[in-house]
Amino acid sequence: MLTFKLSERAVNTPSSPIRRLAPLAAKAKKEGVKVYHLNIGQPDIESPQTFFEGIKDFQSKIVAYENSRGNPFLCDAWAKHYKDILSIDISPENILITQGASEALIFIFMICCDPGDEIVIFDPTYANYLGFAAISGVVLKPVETSLKNNFALPPPEIIEQSISGKTKAILLCNPNNPTGTVYSSDELQSLVEICNKYHLFLIVDETYRELVYDAKKPLSIFNVAYNNDKVMVIDSLSKRFSLCGARIGSLITSNAEILKAALNLAQARLSVSSIEQHAAAYMLNNLESTYVDSMRAEFCRRRNVLFDCLNRIPDITVHKPEGAFYCIVKLPVLNAEDFCTYMLREFRDDNETLFLAPAGGFYMKEERGIDKVRIAYVLSEENLRRAILILEKGLRSYLSKI
Ligand SMILES: Cc1ncc(COP(=O)(O)O)c(C=O)c1O
């Protein structure tokens, strides 16, 4: 028999903690159980009508490759969007269109680092950063943040302790997945200063940028440091425009060398889908002026419902998320993955149950998240209320059994 060995890269790439329990959810559904999905950041909100009009507006008789850099009309429309929402003048030439933020992140890891180089991240972190690091051979260096103080960034001297001779960049997700924390202009400024001091790149993942609540205003790192050639933004239409399946993201920087290197990688993969790019440009150019505010208001209402309902459950710890549509919740259990498995495998309330993401996979040291789950509040208010009631009942049942 032939034996073969997979690459270290393949072996070291972790499975997604969000999807790990998916077979149990699929089984429950097959048995006719209704499963409320709070495990994954897939909003239930309809994609903008103008996106579908844009698809119809695609006139070409051939679905040809698009420019490797991206559809120029989409780059123009995206730059205009920055002007409208953030009052920033981005040159369309500084935007490279990617297959979602995911591809932009893989490109930037590959461009900033050789295998073995390090990127500083804040822990807990978006779990797929671990996958992107494994693909590119990058070592992630975690700076710990904590539920106790709403996952605020630690002072610069603590962050600096994670920087070594191999560090090439700091990566921040703002607003944050999985914590829902929104970082201030001062916090962003202090990261810019650290990067200037140590000659590091600052990569800011702004996938959720406009989803900020209460009195907060959307804030890009470009509002703090635009013409800084160490700074780059990772952007995406997936979440704020409910277009997860369109797979449209971007890498934006004023650094010509980075853009040139990214274009070479982009040429190697040829192009992003031409029809979706056409539709995205059409959508951004014809977006209703109230669209962004209405998305923000909708998720703010959901956040309020979630927070109120969670606060009524005894013995759990939760902080009030300020942005994105996630929060980390500490449960009165020893092992949250075991509890999530119990919910999918055994617990039923009126033939309904709940899918939560165990938070261990969002922490570099899994044990830091062992008693926590990440909740994505992507369901309607009514469904959220029902889902949190199921959580409360499920917890009671689980705790009575162990
Ligand atoms: C923080 C963050 N960055 C990037 C992504 C990937 O987004 P995209 O769908 O644009 O690839 C996600 C998706 O959940 C995310 O939460």
pLDDT digits (tens, 9 = 90+) for 150-208: 999 999 999 999 999 999 999 999 999 999 999 999 999 999 999 999 999 999 999 99
Q: Give the pLDDT band (50/70/90) at residue 2.
A: low
Mean pLDDT score across all residues of the chain: 95
pLDDT digits (tens, 9 = 90+) for 54-83: 999 999 999 999 999 999 999 999 999 999
Stretch 277-305: mean pLDDT, rounded?
95
Asked if residue 291 lies in contact with residue 48, where contact means CB atoms within 8 angstroms, the answer is yes
Give me the pLDDT at residue 355, please. 97
CA distance 220 to 297: 19
- Does 322 have pLDDT greater than 90? yes
Give me the pLDDT at residue 181, please. 97
Q: Which residues line ligand 1 (CB under 6 A)?
A: 41, 100-102, 126, 173, 177, 205, 207, 236, 238, 244, 249
pLDDT digits (tens, 9 = 90+) for 346-374: 999 999 999 999 999 999 988 999 999 99
Cα 103 to middle of ligand 1, angstroms: 10
Atom of ligand 1 nearest to the CA of 104: 11
- Does 19 have pLDDT greater than 90? no
Give me the pLDDT at residue 13, please. 87
Stretch 216-227: mean pLDDT, rounded?
92
Asked if residue 253 lies in contact with residue 46, where contact means CB atoms within 8 angstroms, the answer is no
What dihedral angle (degrees, nearest 10) is formed by the CA atoms of 235, 239, 242, 244?
Answer: 80
Asked if residue 224 lies in contact with residue 195, where contact means CB atoms within 8 angstroms, the answer is no
**pLDDT: is 122 or 44 the higher one?**
122
For a substitution probing ligand 1, which of 102, 179, 181 has the most ligand atoms within 8 Å of its CB? 102
Q: Give the pLDDT band (50/70/90) at residue 31.
A: very high
In this prediction, what percent of the chain has a pLDDT beyond 70? 100
Cα 38 to middle of ligand 1, angstroms: 16
- Does 1 have pLDDT greater than 70? no
DSSP letter assigned to residue 153: P
Edge-to-edge strand ranges of the sheet holding 95-99: 95-99, 248-253, 231-236, 201-205, 167-173, 118-123, 139-144
Atom of ligand 1 nearest to the CA of 248: 10
Q: Report the nearest-CA residue for atom 4 of ligand 1.
A: 101
Q: Give the pLDDT band (50/70/90) at residue 210.
A: very high
- Does 330 have pLDDT greater than 80? yes
pLDDT digits (tens, 9 = 90+) for 228-258: 999 999 999 999 999 999 999 999 999 999 9
